[in-house]
Structure 1
Amino acid sequence: MKRAARLNAILDLLAASGEVTVDELVDRFGASPATTRRDLDTLAEQRLLTRTHGGAVAQTVAYELPIRYKSHLRTHEKASIAQAAADLVSPGMVVGLSGGTTTTAIAAALAAREDLAADGGVTVVTNAVNIAAQLATRPDIKVVVTGGVIHSRTYELVGPFVEQLLRGVRLDIAFLGVNGMDAAAGATTQDEREAAVNRMMAERARRAVVVTDGSKLGVEAFSAVGGPELFHTVITDRGAEPALVEALRTAGYVVLLA
């Protein structure tokens, strides 16, 4: 396993259990004890966990591997999901994009569509500054950026200023990235501020869509965003575990496999 993937997996394990030991990580990932300790030290230096004797504990509920690392994980799956999401967008639509690596891939897929220039192009409303910068040079895409306080690890704007702007807009479709998507718990994130923004963006949309790769299905993160009453559709990859996909459908979601 490459180091970036291993770091992400360590944080995912912390999200589930709250603490890990070096021995447990060595058994699970096959890295040496020295390498594992260096991994934990690296994450501790970034204040993503707290080191303990023989392991580590979760430092806060808001830890999340920085987007610059996560963008290199499961890139094929995210590209497929992004294309399926972009195919749901028609010229003239107002599109909401939360932050995250999958929604960043959706922004790239939208930017590649020359047909969206018809009927005045599309409008993208986003709280992710990296997505806004990515689309800013496209004259056929109007970019609306929410205000707010920037989250240093995800590049998302959060807080009351975001919610103030979202109350005044109406979206045709919104694509929301999550940290977990479970049939019983619904969509969840590690950060309660991001969950609040995602929830409001979904509420302001005629159609709200969760976009997530299969590794996050069956996962429950800290803060709830919403369930099938809020999200009409889930787009995930074809490698997702069939039982988890079926559980989502039974719970009332329309699941599209990309």
Structure 2
Amino acid sequence: MIVDSVSGTTRDPVDSQCSFEGRDILLVDTAGIRRRGKVSRKIETFSIVSALKSIERADVTLLIIDAEEGVTEQVTKIAGYANERRKSLVIVMNKWDLVKKDGITQKEVKEEVYDSLGFINFAPVIFVSAVTGHRVPQIFENILRVHEQYVRRIQTSDLNTILQLIVNQHPPPSKSGRPTKVYYGNQVSVAPPTFVFMTNNPEKTNFAYERYVSNQFRFHFGFEGTPLNFIWRKKKSTHSKKPGKRS
């Protein structure tokens, strides 16, 4: 373990078992990743690697941001890694008590965070102070709520009702003038929720259309704080060749 009197030097993750509202939670406390120049490159690299290993173990990732500093390059990297590993997320703005408000609101700060971290704009943002304890219980409330969404299953009939509504409102791009059809969908796994959609033209469901479907799923089903995986597959033809005439 690396320990020093300088704040932010402890680098080994620490596991802590706790309970909230009758639910057991294992907290993996990783060291803060400080800006380059405040610590050596070696310590910075070690802390990042430690944080990434902890993310691999997690179901819910708490992205803790120093409210005085805002979104830094290191924060963006960690957020990107957690999203790539398809972990659910809660964004925690710590040290909110130290921020000079000067008319700035939490809504405005939240918008700034989403502007910088648009790829995880599905994650809730909460404002706390670890020193004073202000709103700290909200961290645990969000952990439980987001995890519930992370392992949530949608009934197939409800899924397909909403899927057809979404497709009818805004069909996928066509191919050479031929309409792209989405026939049906199934949820195949959780953590994160993963859906398979059968279509006649899977290659035309591009990133923009996936984002549209994702936004609509969140509108109808929730899924706060959790990434969604979509898999588009070509529906096999059910038509068979007619048998030839017998001689």
Q: Would you call these one fold, judging by a TM-score over 0.5?
A: no
TM-score (norm 1): 0.27
TM-score (norm 2): 0.28
More helix by share: 1
